[in-house]
Amino acid sequence: METAIRTAMTTLGAELLEGLLAADSGHRGPRIDCGAGHDAGFVGYRDKMIDTVLGPITLRRAYYHCPDCRHGLAPLDVALEVTGMSLSPGLASMTARAGTAVPFAQAAALLSDLAGITLTTKRVERAAEAAGTAAATAITEKTQAILTRQLIPLPPAAPVADKLYIAVDGTGVPMTPTETTGRAGKHPDGRARTREAKLAALFTQSRLDVDGKPIRDPDSTSYLATLDPITVFADLVDAEAQLRGADHIR
């Protein structure tokens, strides 16, 4: 009964969501900017299937084509953040969370059991990797902005912690052959079987316990992890330390 009711409610929710989204077809006139400085002309309306947390829905949206760039675009896809994607932002987030917790096949099974959503293992993999790539890009851009002083981190809120700790380490992680192509390793055939995951934990300390030993401030730890070279890792740690208020902590 529970499962049947949940299925009925999500089906109803998908219909409601589809109706709400139909209020805007994405039509922006006969011509729009293609994003590269050219005009894209309105071609017609095309359907797109999107999987959501409520189940599959169909978007009927305006489609434009740029003859100079030779590609099409749909303004509604951009507005809904589904350009080139078949998962809604909500479902993509759920899928990425599951895909980081367990192997992709198990993540697909979890989504089916817990949310009633059926996705192939490959779609879970693509969603998780796309989210990881986007997160890595955002972190890299923020790091460079901090190191080039284009972004000045705000001073930490008072009272300022007495100490900032930075703990770093690295360990070899087994990899598939495609991830170690061209890398030298310790295996007898000279090839690498692992790559080094570099890890950092940053946390503050403001007080001591009754024995005079330092106590980590609650919920103060932030983490970094990368497979990139040590120079990149050093920049990440430097920027994170600045974000954590290293310039203001004793």
pLDDT tens digits along 168-205? 999 999 988 888 888 887 777 778 889 999 999 999 99
Q: Coil, helix or strand for 13?
A: helix
pLDDT digits (tens, 9 = 90+) for 126-148: 999 999 999 999 999 999 999 99
User: Where do the domains of the chain lie?
Assistant: 2-86, 163-243
Distances (CA, A) of 45 to 25, 42, 52, 149: 8, 9, 21, 46
Instruction: Please write the tens of the pLDDT for every residue from 107-132.
Output: 999 999 999 999 999 999 999 999 99
**Is the backbone of residue 200 left (phi > 0), alpha (psi -120 to 50) or beta?**
beta
**What is the rounded CA–CA span in Å between residue 81 and residue 222?**
28
* H/E segment holding residue 195: strand 194-208
pTM of the model: 0.76
How far does Cα 31 stand from its chain's mean position?
33
User: Alpha-carbon distance 178 to 182, whole Å?
Assistant: 9
What is the pLDDT, as a whole number, of residue 193?
Answer: 87
